Structure 1
Amino acid sequence: MKKIGLHEIRKEFFDFFREKEHLVAPSFSLVPQNDKSLLLIGAGMAPLKKYFTGEQTPPNKRMATCQKCIRTGDIDNVGKTDRHATFFEMLGNFSFGDYFKKEATAWAWEFLTERMEIDKEDLWVTIYLEDDEAFEIWNKEVGVPSERIVRLGKEDNFWELEVGPSGPCSEIYVDRGEKHGCGSPNCKPGCECDRFIEVWNLVFTQFDKDENGVYHPLPNPNIDTGMGLERITCVMEETKTIFDTEAVKEIRRKVEEIAKVIYGNDPKKDISIRVITDHSRAMTFLVSDGVLPSNEGRGYVLRRLIRRAARHGKLLGIEEAFLSQVVDVVINSWQIEYSELKTREDQIKKIIKAEEDKFQETIHQGISILEEYINEMKLSNETILSGEKAFKLYDTYGFPLDLTKEILEEKNLKVDEEEFNINMEEQRNRARKARDEGDSGWSTGSDQDIFKGLDTIFRGYEKTNIVAEITGLFSNNQKVKELNAEEEGIIILNESPFYGESGGQVGDTGIIESPDFKAIVLDTKHSKGDHLIHIVRIVDGVAKVGDRVIADVDDNRRNSIRRNHSATHLLHRALKDILGEHVNQAGSVVMPNRLRFDFTHFEAVTPEELKKIEEIVNSKILEALEVVTIETSLKNAQEMGVVGLFEDKYKDEVRVLKMGEYSRELCGGTHVLNTGNIGLFKILSESSIASGVRRIEAITGEGVYEYMNHMEENIEQLSNILKTNKSNLLEKVKTLAEEIKEKEREIESLKSKMASSIADEILSSKVIIEGVSLITYKVDNLDMNSLRNLGDEIRNRLGSGVVVLASVKEDKLSFVGMVTKDIVEKGIHAGNIIKEVAMRTGGGGGGRPDMAQAGGKDITKADEALSVVPDLIKKQIK
């Protein structure tokens, strides 16, 4: 058997299947792409699912991958056992209607026996008990003796879903020897002991199972195989666990080094070492694939892994943040296959450290309080912590429930999760109430009662002009029968085309009128009770309850809002395309003249990325994609793979906005009928508004046209001022910039000459300190370069001694220090002098023994700072 490590095995696997005409594809992201049924990728075939179902055409009928995988179902057991892990890599070769059992079994055997050089006598196989075809292939063609072929039932050797592709499996086992066994003479694969270890599972997908449980043969059966890279590494390196394999052991050793402990000496500490070792790989790859710590979904998985590892660091006695040091080892080792780890190294470490630091702030206090609770429980012989106390730990101290449960379980205690969930729901209700009370609405008090029964049917998706009836009038929070000319108030209609402000989209304006009055609609909002209210000013006549009116939305304004709102959806998808799937909407405002879009991202978007994002949005506009809305249930929308923004605000029935096949999102706003109606899209700015949240401001349609006209006018004016035509403007500006630089150099040269002219005056200020000639002098209006040149001249003319000069230019204070060689030998150090001088003004700097410079802050203390130089010389001189 070859002595070969994890990274080498991966390479051997790729090389082998390239020879077998497989397309070797890089690992897919841990974040499922276009598959909302999965939180994270947990199997090698998961990213290829649509190739197996026929929904998509594979790039090649034969493929091989080494897929990154995360499984968190047994996260609580990670560390407690030798075999559980959250992160692993799955080697796999796949056939989409090409080769089948004969080739799959032959190649698996060839790889293990010839490439890995595993003794054939140590290999066993299992097959599905009814799969005689597989038996014949293994026995007659591959040459495995019948006594080493074990038939197992459906539970072990048949892969299937409730409906869809399915088929028998065949697994390859390595016999590790009697020393690992149970001693039974009938010991073989399927036994619960540790003698036989399964390394490769070959799935023969040959049936299509229907809703009645009937298996129909597939015309083009598929092959799906999986071999755990860590598991085969254990076999090749002859180690008991993955934590003893060389690649993983390198991470383990780093943990031991930081914690100053030795693995294998203390079972409890070994648990913590294994947890950190495993979780470090998982967190590194999750962040690399764009997952950010959060309180939900895959972001919560990452947060839990980081915090669990950090907590086990505390159990090992590590007080400071340390995970980024362990992550270093992961990146440096695994970059051999995943080069993106090195590319994203700074971001990976920054995100993990930020989360670890955040946890450090709460963990000490949380653990201290939990220990008090545990002591109280022991005194009263209780075994279940109240949900109220667990919630207080979570709500007040940021202590996660999972961590509370884990610490309690270590002491054979539990938590009342049902009571915890009740407290959580009560908090959510309080938050909703507080949010509702803070919502923008016409009434400052509760409007549930005053608008009761005055519901409005919204017709604004289809029309912007309808005939309706006034069902309610209000003035100064009071219900009234009429509104008179020059009065402001609220009109409620039985039906309305006016969109009320919500979802970031501003409310409509327009006109409501009848033969008896005319009202300008200043704004349209939703009351706290979700009634549609039109805030109006009566400009003529008297409006009365029961009046039949024409409700007419300002079409031009509405169309501008539509363009901007539809553009936010294209922008959201483009941000995900360029920056990664971790990008999510964090808020938006859609106005007639511009749009604002806030999104989650941990660093500034580069100019190159912004350019790509803008290009994508404009390309989708030019494609003139059809924009349609579908009313459906929230559940159906989720099954369609729709992106939901702020899902908790949506009701059971939702509107799905679909822009061609490019974007599918939940949205209740008003939109264009075709992306071509947006016209053009232009990003104006990108900035940070909070930690991990960025903001883009942009314009569309007429706004872009006006922007271009404005820029054109500016260019025209610049051309006139610079007396050149527009096509030569850039070259003219470059020429002027060079001329300005040259003039500045001339000015500085003249200043230096002027300063040199006062050299005699400066030299005349010389004093003798402990036998050393010293000159300290403040010169006006010199920059650092000119001050340094002057210092050189004074030092040269002085011959022997110390020169310290200061200058203030444009509120900027500079210091320069010069010491001749003979004085340096007496112990005088220019860098130390200048550092001390600058500190007196709140600045800093330093340098060599013979020359140093520094910047100051408080220009009023320049003279005071220079006055300390004599004392500094006295202290330094030998």
Structure 2
Amino acid sequence: MPSAKEIRQQFLDYFVREHGHTFVPSSSVVPVDDPTLLFTNAGMNQFKDVFLGTGTRPYRRAVNSQKCIRVSGKHNDLEEVGRDTYHHTFFEMLGNWSFGDYYKAEAIAWAWDLLTRVWRIDKQRLHATVFAGDEREGLEADEEAYRCWLEFTDINPSHVHRFGKKDNFWMMGETGPCGPCTEIHMDRTPDKSGGALINRGDPRVIEIWNLVFIQYNRDETGKLHLLPARHVDTGMGFERITAVLQGKQSNYDTDIFAPLLAALADLTGKSYRGSLTDIVDVGFRVIVDHIRMLTFAITDGAMPGNKGRGSVVRSILRRAMRFGWEAFELREPFLYRLVPVVVEHMGDAFPELRRQPERVAGIIRREEEDFLRTIERGLRYFAQAAERAQPVTSAIPLPSDASWENIRGVISGRDVFELHTTYGFPPDMTRQMARERGLVIDEAEYARLLAEHEAKSRTQPTAQPLVLRVEGPLPTTDDRSKWFGLSGQGTILGWIEGNRFVTTGRLEMAAEEAPPVGLILDRTCFYAESGGQIGDRGYITTSTGTFEVSDTQQLGQTVIHLGTVTAGYLAPGQLARLQVDSIREFTRRNHTATHLLHWALRQVLGEHVEQRGSKVKPDEFTFDFSHTGPLRPEERDRVEELVNEKIYQDWPVTWRELPIDEARKLPGVRAFFGEKYGEIVRVVEIGDGFSREFCGGTHVDHTGQIGPFVILSEEGLGKGVRRVTCATARQAVRAMQEREHLLQQLATRLRCAEHELPQRLAALQEEIRQLQQQLRRAAATDLHAAADRLLAQATVCDGVRIIVGEMPAAPEEQMRQQADRLRQKAGSAVVVLGWLENGRVQLLAALTDDVVQRGLHAGNLLREVARIVGGGGGGKANFAVAGGKEPGKLSEALELARQLALQRLAPESNRP
């Protein structure tokens, strides 16, 4: 039986050695220069420009094994992952391509030869499908492919089937390259009678290879256009063909997944048995699939986050954690422990996995730690939301694969929103949990609440460049001198007042409260705000007046000097002297420092660091970058050390303008956060090119001009994005002096020397810890006493103590302990405790086993009681929890609990 590694290599060798293909390494799962995709989801993605005729390659035949992720959009297999044995979020796509070279005859003949001669698959188990045409779109049947099957292979003619557009016309997405395809299916029925099951979703007959003949491009209107050349794009799922060749019915039974399943079994103490319905086996499949996706995605730069690609990564991670929690009762981080297993068994085929496995594991672990803080409360809230589910109405659209008969209710959009914003449950995860229980979610209400929330979150928007609406065209400004000095000359062309460009009359002094005017000259040395660097300030003077510039902005190719006339007047045609405020020298220092900082962060933290924004001012600058957690003290120190080393070495800072295509080819060059670049770009280099960035800002000539550098503070801007605030030169010196002064103050206050501060603080912390322990013991004693009072006040009914009452606020775990203690002391008991936590009601019910045997159910009891306080909940027969939002009704709810227990325990002869 061939190993997975051997199967992959046999495929590549067949096309390279026997048919002259070039091996092309897999592209990243994070697409490059393709905004239409969240993830690479097919082998053809990296060749899309060739199919469209906009790019070329030095070869016409290619073969590879492509890393793919399918979790969103048209190719979304997420809901099936774990529920069956052959869908995956991450998989390998074995493929061969022809770029205007061979076509249908060769593609079909070679596929058949590899399957039947090299891999010796039984020919009677193979079926082929071809495109039957589509009258509505005017597409003819693919008779050429049909003839090729009969002429160039010895397939059984009855095994060639015709199917319509749904099955045999391949499209990458709503737009893009497409064409008819022929698929090869494997019949795994015992008697080889599965021909009628093709494309019926029956796991006994599966597609193993798709040969696509790309000849069209579908535009945004849906129209098809013939491509300049015809191409072949084939794709075969590596996991599926491995299962076939290893004689396995399930992909998870192959040696691709065996190491991960074994590692997870060691972690959990449970065994994988392959059941399609048992929650443990489903959990095994979900987790080993998802950890492969997470390891590859994060390695390639897809960091967990709240939007776009990052939100998908986080959703997958939390789905895996949910199964760990529910199927294996794992209550601590565990996914990160599986990363080394993925790296060990896939690192030979994909060497990039070996670059920074510890960083990938660390990112996953931090995400796990974050989610573990809320998952238990979130699952409890979801259970309550499911209990509150309302009947489905026609106003709620159902998923395409659902019907009215199998949907029993709808979870409100408000509950989905609460799970998302408070408990960190991505909507995809809530949606899947709902489907598992025969429920759907109110998508429209959730979308509305999310939009309202995002609108409110924009109360402090980032500063935006001035937006002007001016009637008619504006003249172009020559601003090249901004890079060479602080003074210059220019001719006044006019100014913007309101929405008009004024080119006649005089610009005179205005009232103090008047808005600034936008002065325009033919050339300027003022820097307009862009690339994170603020606009210059300064003065513009003529023979008749002075104009004070408070800000400089840009509109298209026009530089606009915002300010007011402070003396005399200005007029069109006048020659003006321009003087930029010397404070720009500090801005220049800080801007060059951002480049050094970016380089240093990548050196210390890793190549995943990317600039996400900056604000460069004279006194300080901020720098936003991608990273999952705060800088450790030693990392922060090392970053400062590296930046200051480069400053002290006094490296030259140079720049040059290049065509963008040429600039992109420079080693290590970086471009940033969605900036739009023209045909010619400015590249700023430091030293020998260790830092090389697209940048239009102003910079020092040598790094030594920057002066000392210091990081003032660090903060998180959201998941996966950090911000550091930094200073250079005199501001850095001032910051260091302030730190020294603070240390002196602390040492004086704590009556110790500065070098003794760590030990003195540690002693204080220990003292505080001991005092807190004393307080906790006192609180536990109070809780203990409150529980004993309730026991003393208990009502006895038919030999059962009914212990009901309000308790002091305490963590739920302590309440569980008190309930267990009361059950043990009472022997036979119904315990219902209620307390207030952050303005909400919390309820807990615990029954002894003999009471359960008499028909009482803790979950059902609390479900009725929780309605009084405007909430819900449930649980097992002997233990349940619930919550509510009306604290004023807690006493009423507890009294109802007492009465319900009395009614259900009273002997039948005493019941009304």
TM-score scaled by length of structure 1: 0.61
CA contact (8 A) 1:596 1:695 kept: yes
- How far, CA to CA, are the matches of 1:206 and 1:253 in structure 2? 45
- Residue in 1 aligned with 2:337? 325
Quote the residue 1:492 is aligned against.
Answer: 516
For 1:291, give the aligned amino acid.
A
Which segment drifts farther, 34-43 or 101-110? Answer: 101-110
CA 1:180–1:261: 2 relative to 1, 3 Å: farther
**Counterpart of 1:25 in structure 2: which amino acid?**
V
Please tell me the residue identity of whatever aligns with 2:37: L
Q: Which residue of the partner structure matches residue 505 of structure 1?
A: 533
2:176 matched to 1:177? no
Say whether the 8 Å CA contact 1:624–1:675 is kept in structure 2. no
Residue 109 of structure 1 contacts residue 142 of structure 1 at CA under 8 Å; is this kept in 2? yes
Secondary structure class of the residue paired with 2:270: coil
In structure 1, C-alpha distance between the alignment counterparts of 2:695 and 2:760, rounded to whole Å: 67
CA-CA distance at 1:281 after TM superposition: 0.7
Match among 658, 665, 686 for residue 625 of structure 1: 658
Q: Give 1:33's aligned residue.
A: 32
1:673 and 1:841 map into 2 onto residues whose CA distance is 46
Deviation at 1:500, TM superposition (A): 7.4
Which of 15-24 and 303-312 deviates more? 15-24
Task: Quote the residue 1:13 is aligned against.
Answer: 11
Work out the CA distance in 2 between the residues paired with 1:124 and 1:680: 69
Q: 1:657 to 1:126 in 2, by over 3 A?
A: same
SS of 2:232 mapped into structure 1: strand
Q: Contact 1:158–1:169 at 8 Å: present in 2 too?
A: yes
Structure 1 match to 2:251: 242
Residue 119 of structure 1 corresponds to 122
How many residues get paired? 647
* Letter aligned with residue 2 of structure 2: I
Q: Could you say if the C-alpha distance between residues 347 and 177 of structure 1 is closer, same or farther in structure 2, counting changes exceeding 3 Å?
A: same
Confirm or deny that 1:294 pairs with 2:320.
no
Distance 2:34 2:354 in 1: 28
Is the contact between residue 456 and residue 496 of structure 1 (CA under 8 Å) also seen in structure 2?
A: no
Alignment of 1:430-469 (within 5 A): 430-435=456-461, 462=478, 465=490, 467=492
CA displacement at 1:524 relative to structure 2: 6.2
Pair 1:263-2:296 in alignment: no
Structure 1 residues 559 and 108, CA, compared in 2 at 3 Å: closer, same or farther?
farther
Per-residue deviation, 1:350? 0.6
Matched, 1:364 2:376: yes
Which position in structure 1 is the counterpart of 2:326? 315
Query: Could you list the per-position Cα deviations for residues 532-588 of structure 1 after superposition, in whole angstroms to 9, with x for gaps in the alignment?
Result: 9957795xx578999x99794629887997998799799989999999985443331
For the Cα contact (< 8 Å) 1:209–1:216, is it kept in 2? no
1:445 is matched with which residue? Answer: none
Cα distance change, pair 609–207 in 1 and its aligned pair in 2 (3 A): farther
Distance of 2:70 and 2:300 partners within structure 1: 15
| Structure 1 residue 216, shift from structure 2 partner | 5.0
Of the candidates 418, 425, 441, which is equivalent to residue 415 of structure 1? 441
Q: In structure 2, how many angstroms separate the alpha carbons of the residues matched to 1:112 and 1:619? A: 60
> Measured at CA, do residues 566 and 107 of structure 1 come closer, stay the same or move farther in structure 2, by a change above 3 Å?
farther
Report which stretch shifted further, 598-607 or 226-235.
598-607
Alignment of 1:90-129 (within 5 A): 90-129=93-132
Q: Could you tell me how far apart the structure 2 residues matched to 1:490 and 1:554 are?
A: 23
Code of the aligned partner of 2:418: K
CA distance in structure 1 between the aligned counterparts of 2:119 and 2:94, rounded to whole angstroms: 14
**Which residues of 2 match residues 273-672 of structure 1 at below 5 A?**
273-316=284-327, 317-377=329-389, 383-435=409-461, 462=478, 465=490, 467=492, 492-493=516-517, 495=519, 504-512=532-540, 518=546, 520-521=548-549, 552=578, 554=580, 582-591=608-617, 597-601=623-627, 623-625=656-658, 645=673, 656-657=677-678, 659-660=680-681
CA contact (8 A) 1:65 1:92 kept: yes
Residue 71 of structure 1, CA deviation? 0.3
Deviation at 1:344, TM superposition (A): 1.7
1:191 CA displacement: 5.1
- SS of equivalent residue, structure 1 residue 246: coil
Amino acid at match of 2:3: G
Within 2, Cα distance between the matches of 1:217 and 1:514? Answer: 61
Further displaced range: 395-404 or 85-94: 395-404
| Residues 581, 423 of structure 1: alpha-carbon distance in 2 compared, 3 angstrom cutoff | farther
Q: Deviations over 1:693-744 (max 9, x none)?
A: 4769899xxx9xxxxxxxxxxxxxxxxxxxxxxxxxxxxxxxxxxxxxxxxx
Structure 2: distance between partners of 1:111 and 1:281? 28
Distance 2:34 2:340 in 1: 31
Structure-2 residue corresponding to 1:157? 168
Partner Cα distance (2:68, 2:710) in 1 = 34
Task: Label 1:524 to 1:164 Cα distance change in 2 as closer, same or farther (>3 A).
Answer: closer
Q: Pick from 236, 239, 249: which aligns with 1:230?
A: 239
Classify 1:202/1:533 alpha carbon distance in 2 versus 1 (closer, same or farther; 3 Å).
closer
State the distance in 1 between where 2:335 and 2:376 align: 17
In structure 2, the residue matched to 1:81 is 84
Percent identity over paired residues:
34
Partner of 1:635: none
Question: One-letter code of the match for 1:31?
Answer: V
Greater Rg over alpha carbons, structure? 1
Distance verdict in 2 for CA 1:328–1:516, change over 3 Å = same
Q: CA–CA distance in 1 between the matches of 2:246 and 2:213?
A: 30
Per-residue Cα deviation, 1:295-354 (whole angstroms, up to 9, x for no partner): 112111111111111111110211111001222322221113122223321111011111
CA distance in 2, matches of 1:140, 1:452: 68
Contact 2:62 2:97 in 1 (8 A): yes
Q: How many Å separate the matches in 2 of 1:672 and 1:263?
A: 52
Does the 8 A contact of 1:584 with 1:599 survive in 2? Answer: yes
Q: Which runs of 5+ in 2 are unaligned?
A: 133-140, 394-407, 480-488, 499-507, 555-559, 662-669, 685-692, 730-753, 767-912
Q: CA shift at 1:236, angstroms?
A: 1.2
For the 8 Å contact 2:535–2:551, the answer to whether it is kept is yes
CA distance in 2, matches of 1:592, 1:403: 46
Q: Distance in 2 between matches of 1:493 and 1:402?
A: 50
Paired residues of 1:566 and 1:678 also in contact (CA < 8 A): yes
1:828 match: none
30-39 or 225-234, which deviates more: 30-39
TM-aligned CA distance change 1:455 to 1:136, over 3 Å: closer
Residue pair 1:457, 1:494 contacting (<8 A) in 2 also: no
The structural deviation recorded for 1:459 is: 7.5
Shift in CA distance, 569/208, structure 1 to aligned 2, threshold 3 Å = farther
Matched to 1:256, the amino acid is A
Alignment deviations for residues 620-659 of structure 1 (CA, whole Å, 9 cap, x no partner): 965532589xxxxxxxxxxxxx9884x8xxxxxx975554
Superposed displacement of residue 660, structure 1? 4.3
SS in 2 for 1:254: helix
1:134–1:222 Cα change, 3 Å: same
The AA in structure 1 aligned to 2:14 is F
User: Take 2:642 and 2:94, find their aligned partners in 1: how far apart are those partners?
Assistant: 34
How far off its partner does 1:29 sit?
0.6
Cα distance between partner residues in 1 of 2:761 and 2:550 = 57
| Cα pair distance change 1:140/1:535, threshold 3 Å | closer
Q: CA deviation at 1:148?
A: 2.5
Q: Structure 1 residues 118-127 or 683-692, which shifts more?
A: 683-692
SS in 1 for 2:62: strand
Change (3 A) 1:284 1:163: closer
Partner of 2:2: 4
Paired AA for residue 122 in structure 1 = R
TM-score, normalised relative to structure 2: 0.59
* Structure 1 residue 435 displacement after superposition: 4.2
Cα pair 1:456 1:493 within 8 Å, conserved: no
In 2 relative to 1, CA 662–181 (structure 1 residues): closer, same or farther, beyond 3 Å? farther
CA distance 1:489–1:168, shift in 2 (3 Å): closer
User: Relative to 1, partners in 2 of residues 1:698 and 1:7: Cα closer, same or farther, differing over 3 Å?
Assistant: farther
